[in-house]
Structure 1
Amino acid sequence: MGATLRALRALVLLCGFYLLSLVLLAALATLDVAAFTWAPGAVAGKIVIVSLLLAMPVVRGMFMLRTPRGEGPAGLPVTEADEPRLWALVRELAAATGTRAPDTIVLTGDVNAAVSEEPRLLGLRPGPRRLYLGVPLLTGLTEAQLKSVLAHEYGHFTGGDTRLSALVVRGRVQIGRTVGHFHAKADGREAAERARQEKAAAKRTAKGKKAKEIDTAGAGVTYRMMAAIYTAYAKLYMRATLSTARAQEYAADLAAARIAGRDATASALREIPILATAHDFYLESYATLGVQARRLPPRGQFFGGFGRMLTAREAELARMREMLPTEPRSPYDSHPPIANRVLRIEELPADGRGEEADGPALAVLADPARTLAALEDAVLTDEVRQFEHAPEWEQLLDLSMAAGLASLDTPLHRALAFHTEARPSLPALLTVIDDGQLWQLAQRLPLSGQTATVEGRAFRELVRPVLRDSLQSMVLAEFSARSLLNWEFSWSRPAAVRLPGSASDLDGEAGTEAALDAAVDAALADHPDTAPLRALLPPAPQPA
């Protein structure tokens, strides 16, 4: 199916949204006329009010329909003067693919490359083009793999896919908005009904009567019925517009293999999902490590540290490359499973081209360090940009862990706050234990069904693991408050902590230090003894 026919099909589906809306409005109007004709006045008035409330999201959906513009990912636009080598590579590959080069290149913070076009005449005429290129993608790919990725994206240009995207997205976005309006109305009705019933139940309880069970099953049902109608059409719309999307991806893969080579294309397809997973882990475990302490990594390292982690964890990544996804992410995913795409490329005849340009793709940037720093300013939120940069990753870890331990809030902390008037802390807990109230305190912990029904030794055995975890955390917090913990930063494994005077790691995997382990066991024994634990604690600092 050519680009023009696909555009016409998308236009017909979009008109179907209008037609569905008009049919629903006509049905509501018919209901109103019937109500005024045959129903009593009061009933007719209620029916009209309900129909008007249902009609509002439908009308809003019809008149808010427009092509979303300027909604691409946040990024750093770069000119040819900024990045001459990148622009030369982009133009070279565009010419080899037989298409027009993009008018704008935007560097982003995602593991992704994408092209967009702002077409005219409902996608029938081309318009300005934009290339979005993720710097983390450049960090993890070779230059040969990058060429394959860019050639794949240009394959969408030659197939006319980008001209259709605005029209298709227009329908998807608006159907989604309409469904969202109905669900929001239904949720509001359900919340209001729940609040009404809870208030009535509270009044009955105050009068000594048995409260009725809360039941909101019927609240907002008409809104949910309308949402269900549009959801059904949305599924039809998605399936129809995605029917050729996967074929387009296969065709773009073939274009990439023709331009950049079979091996580079297959290896790039293998690498991208691995990089996406690794980058998610990097953001959570490294880049945002200091958020609680309102600290950022060293300048330029919010994205720059990703390459260091990839190098340190190469063995893990190699194992992940052998486990490619064999199923699409969802029934409506426009991309076929990666395993299928790789298999199709690897089945092509050898073309004699290995990954000749096997240097890092990041080298196509004129000054990677400068670009990584500028990217932070372009994509991080205003609030996050106000955070102070740590001078080194090691200091960032120290600050982060200290902030986390200072704000520690375990189940044991919360139970201790209810049990005693003292501030929840390790000294307060040790006092409770010395007073023989440990197991009474344990009764205030969130307990599972089984734990809540047993007593005596069985209760102590079931609750002891929760107490152990919280107590060890409280010990670390106490050492941290006195600046006695030494955290060890690593790109290849979780951070480790060394206790004062110890050469043994305490990170949950290397095992706890024997003395602390024994001291915690003694404090949580059937007959608790806090003396070993108190002996491990350094003297509290004396006020000046």
Structure 2
Amino acid sequence: MGSTLRALRALVLLAGFYLLGVLLLAVLAGTDYLLFAHAPAAVAAKLALVSVVLAIPLVRGLFMLRTPKGEEPAGLPVTEAQEPELWRTVRELADRVGTRAPSRIVLTGDVNAAVGEDAHLLGLLPGPRRLYLGVPLMQGLTEAQVRAVIAHELGHYAGSDTRLAALTLRGRVQLQRTIANFEERAGGAEARERARQERRNAKAEARGKAQREIDTERAGITYRVLARIYTAYAELYLRATLADSRRQEYAADASAARIAGRDATASALREIPVLDGAFGFYVRSYATLGTEAALLPPRGEVFGGFGRMLSARQLELAALRSELPTEPISPYDSHPPVADRVRRVELLPGDDRADEAHGAAIALLTDEEGTLTVLEDAVLPHEVRQLRRTADWHELLDGAMAANLAALNTPLHRAMVLYTKHYPTLPTLLALIDDGQLWQLARRLPLSDEAVAAKGRAFREFVRPTLHNSLHSMVMAEFSSRSRMSWTFSWEQPAKARLLPDPDSTPQDGAPGLDAAIGAAVDRALADAPDTAPLRALLPPAPRSPRETDTSR
């Protein structure tokens, strides 16, 4: 379907929204006419008032003509003087696609690329164009793959997709507003009816009479009916416009393959879901590791660390690339399934361009480190930028783990509060174990029905995993609180605890047995015949008081 036909259909769908409103207003007006013609005047007047109330949201929907301007994604605008190579690449690709180049390039902190256009007169006249390019995308893709991504986005310009978006957006916004308006009024009517019935029951209770069951099912029913009518049209509208969006993605993929090469386009499509998952993992496990402790990675490392993690986990990422995501197909998806897009591209004829531009795309930037630093100021929220910067990733890890362990709140902690009515501490727990109260304490843990019914050895087997994990964490917290533990930072694997033999020592990589030693001692403490001696022997001594360390007396 050409852009002219798509524009015509978008106009028809948008006109359908207004036509639906006019028809509903006509139905209300016709009903009022019949009422005044055939019903008693008092009844007709009351029902006409209802019609007026119903007509208000209909009229508001028809006259809400202004489409709210969407918020621009947070990012770092770069000029041609700042990034000449990136701009040269974009202009070259725009010429080859056969479209006007964007007037702005904005670097973002997402694994994504997108284009926008401020078209005028509902897309009839072109306007300023913007290209959004995610820096994490450039960190993980080759230059050839990023060229394919940019060519894909520029293909949306060539197909007038961004200009026609103004038409489809208008209809979606109008439908959402109108439906929300009806649902809000239905909710208000239901709340008023509930309050009225509750007041009636309160009066009945005060008089010693029986209360009635509150029933608000019929409150606001007319608003809900009108909301369902518009919802049905919204489903039709979304199915039609999103089907267009999926066809636009296929066309943009074909444009990218023609300009940047079949293999680069297909490999970029395969790589982006992998990068998206890797970036989500990086943000959770690294970039935001210290937020609970009010810590932030060093300057430039919020995004810079992602490139380091990608380099360190190449084997792990290679395994992920072998399988394409198999997301379910829905008529309300704006993009086709990635697997289908890759299949279509790979079925295109070969073009002998497989060996082009294998270098990292981040090299297109003039000053990679400087850009990563400035990007943080552009995309991180103000409250996040106020967190304390650490000197390096090791300091961030140590600070974050210490804060997490200090705020520990395991099921065993909560059970001890219920059992002892006091703040839970490790010495208190060990004393309870020595006194033979461990399994009575375990009854205060969150338990399944099977565990509650179990007795003796069966009960102990049910609760032992929870006890083990909680006690292990409490011991680690004890080491941390006495500054006798550090952590090994790694881009390739989870952090590992390291034991500091004494306060004046430095971390020893030869102490990875800490975790295993704690695990073995915890097992002894939670055995059928508990023995806390190995655990007590392993624990660091409590810090001596100033009186104990003062030998001047």
Q: TM-score range by the shorter chain?
A: 0.7 to 0.9
Of 504, 511, 521, the match for 2:512? 504
1: distance between equivalents of 2:429 and 2:211? Answer: 40
Structure 1 residue 521 displacement after superposition: 2.3
1: distance between equivalents of 2:467 and 2:226? Answer: 50
Of 529, 534, 537, the match for 1:535? 537
SS at 1:106's partner residue? strand
**Aligned twin of 1:317:** 317
Contact 2:123 2:167 in 1 (8 A): yes
Structure 1 residue 460 displacement after superposition: 2.5
Please give the per-residue CA displacement for 1:476-509, whole angstroms capped at 9, x wherever unaligned.
Answer: 1111111122211111111122345663367xxx
Name the CA shift for 1:543/1:317 in 2 (closer, same or farther; >3 Å). Answer: same
Of 519, 531, 534, the match for 2:521? 519
Contact 2:77 2:105 in 1 (8 A): yes
Contact 2:301 2:373 in 1 (8 A): yes
Residues 219-238 of structure 1 mapped to structure 2, 5 A cutoff = 224-238=224-238
Q: TM-score, normalised by structure 2?
A: 0.86
Name the CA shift for 1:266/1:227 in 2 (closer, same or farther; >3 Å). Answer: same
Name the CA shift for 1:405/1:252 in 2 (closer, same or farther; >3 Å). Answer: same
SS at 1:423's partner residue? coil
CA RMSD in angstroms comes to 3.6
Structure 1 residue 349 displacement after superposition: 1.9
Please give the per-residue CA displacement for 1:362-413, whole angstroms capped at 9, x wherever unaligned.
Answer: 1111111111111111111111011111111111111111111111112221
Letter in 2 for 1:344: R
Matched positions, count: 537
Please give the per-residue CA displacement for 1:252-284, whole angstroms capped at 9, x wherever unaligned.
Answer: 112112211122112111111111111111111
Contact 2:417 2:424 in 1 (8 A): yes
Q: TM-score, normalised by structure 1?
A: 0.88
Alignment of 1:462 with 2:462, yes or no, is: yes
Contact 2:112 2:133 in 1 (8 A): yes
Alignment of 1:83 with 2:83, yes or no, is: yes
Structure 1 residue 235 displacement after superposition: 1.5
Contact 1:115 1:153 in 2 (8 A): yes
**Aligned twin of 2:431:** 431
**Aligned twin of 1:133:** 133
Name the CA shift for 1:58/1:348 in 2 (closer, same or farther; >3 Å). Answer: same
Contact 2:484 2:540 in 1 (8 A): no
Residues 42-61 of structure 1 mapped to structure 2, 5 A cutoff = 58-61=58-61
SS at 1:292's partner residue? helix
Structure 1 residue 234 displacement after superposition: 1.8
Identity, % of aligned pairs?
64
User: What residue ranges of structure 2 are gaps of 5+ in the alignment?
Assistant: 502-509, 547-553
**Aligned twin of 1:268:** 268
Structure 1 residue 533 displacement after superposition: 1.9
Please give the per-residue CA displacement for 1:35-87, whole angstroms capped at 9, x wherever unaligned.
Answer: 89869979986x78877776665555444443332523111111111111111
Structure 1 residue 128 displacement after superposition: 1.0
**Aligned twin of 2:505:** none
Name the CA shift for 1:64/1:468 in 2 (closer, same or farther; >3 Å). Answer: farther
**Aligned twin of 1:363:** 363
Name the CA shift for 1:21/1:354 in 2 (closer, same or farther; >3 Å). Answer: same
Letter in 1 for 2:448: S
Contact 1:394 1:488 in 2 (8 A): yes
Contact 1:142 1:361 in 2 (8 A): yes
Contact 2:156 2:248 in 1 (8 A): yes
User: What residue ranges of structure 1 are gaps of 5+ in the alignment?
Assistant: 507-511
Residues 230-249 of structure 1 mapped to structure 2, 5 A cutoff = 230-249=230-249
Letter in 1 for 2:512: S
Letter in 1 for 2:464: R
Please give the per-residue CA displacement for 1:411-468, whole angstroms capped at 9, x wherever unaligned.
Answer: 2212222222332222232233334332332222222222233344332321222121
1: distance between equivalents of 2:211 and 2:456? Answer: 35
1: distance between equivalents of 2:401 and 2:329? Answer: 35
1: distance between equivalents of 2:312 and 2:524? Answer: 40
Alignment of 1:385 with 2:393, yes or no, is: no
Please give the per-residue CA displacement for 1:84-119, whole angstroms capped at 9, x wherever unaligned.
Answer: 111111111111111111011111111111111111
2: distance between equivalents of 1:202 and 1:322? Answer: 66
2: distance between equivalents of 1:486 and 1:300? Answer: 24
Contact 2:97 2:154 in 1 (8 A): yes
1: distance between equivalents of 2:212 and 2:461? Answer: 39
Contact 1:7 1:124 in 2 (8 A): no
**Aligned twin of 2:93:** 93
**Aligned twin of 2:331:** 331
Larger Rg, first or second structure (1 or 2)? 2
